[in-house]
Structure 1
Amino acid sequence: MRRLLYGMNLSLDGYVAAPGDDLSWSGPSDELFQWWLDQERAISLLLYGRKLWETMSAYWPTGDQQPGATPAQIEFARNWRDTPKVVFSSTVDKVDWNTRLVTDDAVAEITRLKAEDGGPMRVGGAALAGAAMRAGLIDEYAIVTHPVLVGSGTPFFTALDSWANLNLVETRTFPGGVVLTRYETRR
């Protein structure tokens, strides 16, 4: 059975994007970017909602060709292109870069994918992750908290029908006061 991971950068008040989908507050240090790259190398399947897919696919297919791209950014772009992806959307018409589109029930498809043999999957995008969270499908949370309050926007967590008990498995501090807390779901 595959594991499902959910992790993103978020503000101290719990948002992954400020109003207007503003992500300018979440620029990673080189050390944090390397940590994300190391995490992504271990992922065998990326699951995206529409918004995050549009953000990622607008930059990373050619991220290794951008002026001033660091070695880590070059490797991240290559890894992103090579990693199989599934996009969940009823409005996207076409996907590229080792990706397939699912327009049906996201929770049913994620449940099916989890039951398969294979390496870990990462769910990205707050709405899609929220559906997986409510269905009890997420095995691990990586919360990368930036020391900024954005006031409102897209929340990392969704409302749940019942508690989800977690075990703390890692904490780490990055430059600029960014703090990682990683939790596994208690089953």
Structure 2
Amino acid sequence: MRTLRYGINVTLDGCVHHEAGIAPDDESMRFWTAEIERADALLYGRVTYGMMESAWRRPASGVWPAWMGDRDLPFAEAIDATPKHVVSSTLETVDWNADLVRGELGQAVRELKERPGSSLSVGGVTLPLALAELGLIDEYVFVVHPVIAGHGPTLFDGLRDRALLDLVDRQEFSSGAIALHYRPARV
């Protein structure tokens, strides 16, 4: 069975807005590129899919935009090439190497996990909350930035029951950020 791994940037006060942390640097871009490359497929909700597609989809011209530097290109190449599954009840179609996930969320994600391969990577805020509620996330990767945002959406806001996690790895970045890798605790 494939592992479902959730990864996200978060501030010290739990904010998960993509603009609340420290701007990506070479080190963090290499980290997130490796995270994308390790996944057989990506799982996104409608909003995250749209945001990622608008930033990281290869233009029809085949030429990446001028704002992308050398550190961005490996991430762009990796995310562009990776198959995607999009959970949405409102989208009629998706492309960008993607398919729609319909029906009951728990059953649909269990079926994705049962497909051959090693791992799925989930991103965003709302979908991972629903998956955590269903007990479907096998690994969590939080890159905690040394920033206090003071506002914005927070990690797992509204989670009904606490989730106990075991730390399995950590990696410190020169920026002061720390990547923390957890698995659900065996109770």
Contact kept in structure 1, 2:9 and 2:21, CA below 8 Å: no
Residue deviations 1:9-36 (CA, integer Å, cap 9, x gap): 011111211xxxx615342111011011
TM-score (structure 1 length as normaliser): 0.88
Comparing 22-31 with 95-104, which one deviates more in the overlay?
22-31
Aligned equivalents of 2:22, 2:131: Cα separation in 1: 24
Matched, 1:51 2:47: yes
Query: Which residues in structure 2 correspond to 1:1-187 (within 5 Å)?
Result: 1-17=1-17, 23=19, 25-62=21-58, 65-67=64-66, 69-187=68-186
Return the offset for 1:105: 2.3
SS of aligned partner of 1:8: strand
**Shift, 1:92, TM fit:** 2.3
The CA distance in 2 between the partners of 1:153 and 1:104, in whole Å, is: 30
**Aligned Cα root-mean-square deviation (Å):** 1.9
Aligned length, in residue pairs: 183
Q: What is the TM-score normalised by the length of structure 2?
A: 0.88
Which blocks of at least 5 consecutive residues in structure 1 are unaligned?
none
Output one character per residue of 1:82-135: Cα deviation in whole Å (capped at 9) or x when no partner.
Answer: 111011112223311110012422222111111233120011111100011011
User: What is the CA–CA distance in structure 2 between the aligned matches of 1:72 and 1:95, rounded to whole Å?
Assistant: 28
- Asked if the contact 2:10/2:16 (under 8 Å) is kept, the reply is yes
Q: Following the alignment from structure 1 to structure 2, what is the Cα–Cα distance between the partners of residues 68 and 131?
A: 34
Q: Percent identity at matched positions?
A: 36
Please give the alpha-carbon distance, in whole angstroms, between the structure 2 residues aligned to 1:179 and 1:59.
25
Residues 10, 26 of structure 1: 8 Å contact kept? no
